[in-house]
Amino acid sequence: MLWVTRENVHVDRVACPWLINRFIDARAQFVFLPKAEVPDFSKKTGAIQFDMGGSAELDHHKCGNEDHCTFDAIVEKYKLQDDEALERLRKLVRAADTDGLQKEPRAWVLEIVGTGTPLLTRSDQESLESEFPVYDALYAYFQQEIVRERFKADIEEFKTRGEARDFIKQKMNGLKSRALR
């Protein structure tokens, strides 16, 4: 699949390619262009537009009284809501991308990484490569958080951090996930 969006990535335009790559199409290709060039490129190539500032199917939208970001739109379109760790990450992305940082203080990490990384890279593609591990780590963090909640008593029985980590990793593999990798 070929995907296209505005250049100069920030939170949602990194989180969405991560989501697409990890859960929808591991071979997806992403193109970043000046906003005015996106519609013509999409018509010529059939590329799927996303996060175009309100002009694409996969974009920011209202859900009830709440502002949702493009990450939400993709989760909803591809029916990925049954992955509890992804849902927790989704709330972070939404908060970081829709002025919800006061409601979800942990979302500041995405704002900080999303602002700082492009200052260290030469292209939007390079920013994706640099930031994808952050999203991988956050997804794993939420998976282990779920395991810790479900198996708190079991985990407290281990004598070493290594034993607990091995147990958590094993249980993480049993969580419902539609990740491709």
Q: Is residue 181 assigned to a domain? A: no
- Per the structure, the complete domain to which residue 134 belongs is given by 2-173
Q: Is residue 26 assigned to a domain? A: yes
CA 171 – CA 144 distance, rounded (Å): 8
Q: Is residue 58 assigned to a domain? A: yes
**What is the end-to-end Cα distance of the chain in Å, rounded?**
17
Q: Is residue 63 assigned to a domain? A: yes
Q: Is residue 15 assigned to a domain? A: yes
Instruction: State pTM to two decimals.
Output: 0.95
> Does the pLDDT of residue 43 top 80, yes or no?
yes
CA 117 – CA 130 distance, rounded (Å): 7
> Does the pLDDT of residue 116 top 80, yes or no?
yes
- Can you point out the beta strands (E) in the chain? 2-6, 29-33, 48-49, 61-63, 66-68
CA 37 – CA 32 distance, rounded (Å): 10
Say if CB 48 and CB 1 are below 8 A apart: yes
Residue-level pLDDT at 109: 95
Say if CB 99 and CB 71 are below 8 A apart: no
Q: Is residue 60 assigned to a domain? A: yes
Grouping H, G, I as helix, E, B as strand and the rest as coil, residue 32 is strand
Residue-level pLDDT at 176: 81
More confidently predicted of 54 and 148: 148
> Does the pLDDT of residue 181 top 70, yes or no?
no
Around Cβ 39, how many Cβ atoms within 10 Å?
A: 15
CA 154 – CA 3 distance, rounded (Å): 44
Q: Is residue 165 assigned to a domain? A: yes
DSSP 67-110: EE-HHHHHHHHTT-TT-HHHHHHHHHHHHHHTT-TTT-GGGHHH
Q: Is residue 179 assigned to a domain? A: no
Per the structure, the count of domains in the chain is 1
